[in-house]
Amino acid sequence: MVLFKKKAQRRIKDAKIVGAQLPSIIHEYLALYALANRTTKSRIIVMMLDEWKKRTSKNVPEQHLIDKVIKEVNSMFKKYKTIPAQRKYIAQVKEELVRRGLADNVIKEILRNYD
């Protein structure tokens, strides 16, 4: 027997899946809250993250974050003394940026000095 009929879930266009490991007590409360309010855990988490992004991006704009990453890449790049080592490092950085799901234009901006 099903307690509540599940609403059809709308899919968000251009969405990514993000995994997170939660303490059991938080997961249980989240599951109970979602069930009692006829919503999904995903919707609650998306709502919370949306609010977090709105608050955070006022004080920390995206360009500031990009500049911090560029500074870190530049700092690490200087540690590699040979051209092959530098090329290998930049390839590894690019691979990590792609794996982390950054947009192509952000990756290009971060690596613009290394093309």
34 belongs to a structural domain: yes
12 vs 15, 17, 42, 107, CA distance in Å?
A: 6, 11, 11, 24
pTM to 2 decimal places = 0.77
In the DSSP assignment, the letter for residue 6 is P
Convert the pLDDT of each residue in 39-93 to its tens digit.
999 999 999 999 999 999 999 999 999 999 999 999 999 999 999 999 999 999 9
Q: Is residue 16 part of a domain?
A: no
Ramachandran quadrant class, 15 (left: phi over 0; alpha: psi -120 to 50; beta: rest): beta
What total number of domains does the chain contain? 2
Asked if residue 49 and residue 36 are part of one domain, the reply reads yes
pLDDT surpassing 70 at residue 7:
no
Nearest by Cα to 39 from 65, 9, 18, 11: 9
Q: pLDDT over 90 for what percent of the chain? A: 82
Structural domain harbouring 90 = 62-114
The answer to whether position 9 is within a domain reads no
43 vs 8: CA distance, rounded Å: 12
DSSP state of 3: S
